[in-house]
């Protein structure tokens, strides 16, 4: 049996723990295959999708900044990907390259226990991850949903799709929030690690959720905790969306507890 090929595309990709999770998963499930990191500049995205077709790459994870841009290059997308307007998973169905989105479930699962205090909710960012966050929050019953991004026009485009309201970036910390969710790359390991999407002298939130998972404790989460907020690491979201991807590709569900232990041990060992 030929070993299947899987991998992740994004730009940059130095922070990703997807290869760790999925290579472990393939071995744990007794499946032949390898999962690689494929750093892909935006200008090379079209050529990459052509390569997926030519090499019959079985599954691809899609991350920043390709989650929206990849859609026109695919044969079709699932209903849930259409509802979000972004894709994080590529797979084959009946000879066609399909796009799906497992980020919504990844965002929703860690917030289930906090449903009674999610509003008003503020999503920071306006890319593919922010779209998934808005879809998840609407699914959890949040009625007062706002979006803030450094480019107001982009935030307004997102709010139009989810019947939310845009908040000027400079005024994002001037109101009290039930939830502030970071869907920007600010705080991500690498050149953005020392950055935060939140002003240093601001609190005004009951719950803080950072979709950045590497490092586990971001500057944003440290700020939120210091102000008295309950914090949720992006590791939970990353784990849930990754397990769902693996099931789409292989039909097998991995052991959630073992997968979490694997990721946490690696992040702590590497200083994440």
DSSP-derived 3-state class of residue 15: coil
What percent helix, strand, coil does the chain show, rounded to 5?
A: 40, 20, 40
| CA dihedral over 267, 132, 115, 258, signed as positive or negative | negative
CA gap 264, 35 in Å, rounded: 19
Assigned token pair, 35:
């999962």
User: Is 58 assigned a catalytic role?
Assistant: no
90: left (phi over 0), alpha (psi -120 to 50) or beta: beta
Active site residue: 27, 43, 67, 154, which one? 67
Determine how β-strand 59-62 pairs with β-strand 89-93.
antiparallel
Residues involved in catalysis: 67
């Amino acid at each position: 049996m030929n070993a299947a090929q899987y991998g992740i595309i994004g730009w940059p990709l130095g922070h990703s723990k997807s290869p760790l999770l999925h290579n472990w998963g393939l071995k744990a499930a007794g499946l032949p295959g390898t999962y690689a990191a494929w750093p892909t500049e935006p200008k090379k995205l079209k050529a990459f999708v052509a390569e997926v077709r030519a090499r019959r790459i079985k599954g691809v994870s899609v991350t920043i900044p390709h989650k929206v841009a990849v859609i026109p290059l695919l044969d079709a997308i699932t209903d849930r990907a259409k509802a979000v307007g972004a894709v994080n998973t590529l797979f084959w169905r009946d000879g066609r390259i399909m796009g799906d989105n497992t980020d919504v479930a990844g965002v929703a699962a860690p917030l289930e226990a906090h449903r009674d205090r999610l509003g008003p909710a503020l999503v920071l960012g306006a890319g593919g991850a922010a779209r998934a966050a808005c879809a998840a929050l609407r699914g959890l019953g949040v009625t007062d949903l706002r979006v803030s991004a450094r480019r107001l026009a982009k935030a307004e485009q997102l709010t139009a799709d989810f019947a939310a309201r845009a908040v000027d970036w400079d005024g994002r910390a001037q109101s009290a929030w039930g939830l502030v969710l970071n869907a920007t790359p600010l705080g991500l390991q690498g050149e953005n690690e020392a950055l935060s999407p939140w002003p240093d002298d601001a609190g005004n939130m009951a719950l803080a959720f950072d979709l950045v998972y590497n490092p586990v404790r971001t500057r944003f989460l440290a700020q939120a905790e210091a102000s008295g907020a309950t914090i949720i690491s992006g590791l939970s979201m990353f784990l849930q969306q990754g397990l769902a991807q693996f099931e789409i590709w292989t039909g097998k569900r991995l052991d959630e507890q073992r997968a979490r232990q694997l990721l946490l041990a690696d992040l702590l060992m590497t200083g994440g």
